Chains A and B, each alone.
Chain A
Amino acid sequence: EAGVAQSPRYKIIEKRQSVAFWCNPISGHATLYWYQQILGQGPKLLIQFQNNGVVDDSQLPKDRFSAERLKGVDSTLKIQPAKLEDSAVYLCASSFGTSEERQFFGPGTRLTVL
């Protein structure tokens, strides 16, 4: 079974630039999550999709972050404009159903904002 795919694996940008991350969940998984993990911290949920609808985006900084999951399959997360404090690993995860079920994480995208 293929795992959760993410790209790119690494990205370095200047502050105020924009960046986009892509995630392809495990086939058949209805729920997709984007997390932000700052060094030394646990993952923090940014947004949760159920199929192509948003379940929770309460911690998404909507003035600069946006995410979409067209057709209920893969997803993109965008930051525009980036700030220094956005430097982190962005993890995508998926689960078959609700968040009570085990989540399968991708390898993450390490973002460095200079």
Chain B
Amino acid sequence: SQKIEQNSEALNIQEGKTATLTCNYTNYSPAYLQWYRQDPGRGPVFLLLIRENEKEKRKERLKVTFDTTLKQSLFHITASQPADSATYLCALGYSTLTFGKGTMLLVSP
């Protein structure tokens, strides 16, 4: 069956460091992948989309890679700030989106 795995444990990093979040999947051939941010008590907010024929996408301090051979996406936040603390969800898409469980990121000052 289709499976999406994100870092199960919370990721704790210090301000200014680069945070790297992982999204692995099996039994799936997504046409695209999206990353969302979710704060407690709020709906997810879209961050980036990357298509299967793209290797990398950047937006300000965010970078996402997509390796369809490894079946993996990496999400990087450079120069992290305490305001980046949130849960980050990856979502794989073909005709509909399937979300992972998310990884909680905690950035300490």
Residues of A within 8 A of B43 (CB): 4, 91, 93, 105-108
Contact indicator B96/A48 (Cβ below 8 Å): yes
A45 to B94, CA, bound (A): 13
A103 contacts which of B4, B41, B97, B102 (Cβ < 8 Å)? Answer: B97
B71 in the interface, Cβ–Cβ < 8 Å? no
Expressed in whole angstroms, the minimum distance between the Cβ of A44 and any Cβ of chain B is 7
- For chain A, which range describes its interface: under 10, 10 to 19, 20 to 34, or 35 or more residues? 20 to 34
Known interface pairs A100-B31, A102-B34, A102-B49; A40-B93 also in contact (CB < 8 Å): no
Residues facing A in B81-101 (CB within 8 A) are: 89, 91, 93, 95-101
Expressed in whole angstroms, the minimum distance between the Cβ of B44 and any Cβ of chain A is 5
14 additional contacts (CB under 8 A) given A44-B99, A45-B98, A99-B95:
A42-B89, A42-B100, A45-B96, A45-B97, A55-B95, A99-B97, A100-B31, A100-B49, A102-B46, A103-B46, A103-B97, A105-B43, A106-B43, A108-B42
Interfacial residues, chain A to chain B (CB-CB below 8 A): 4, 35, 40-45, 48, 55-56, 91, 93, 98-100, 102-108
Q: What are 16 A-B contacts with C-beta separation under 8 Å?
A: A42-B89, A42-B91, A43-B99, A45-B97, A48-B96, A91-B44, A99-B95, A99-B97, A100-B32, A100-B49, A100-B93, A102-B46, A105-B43, A105-B44, A106-B43, A108-B43
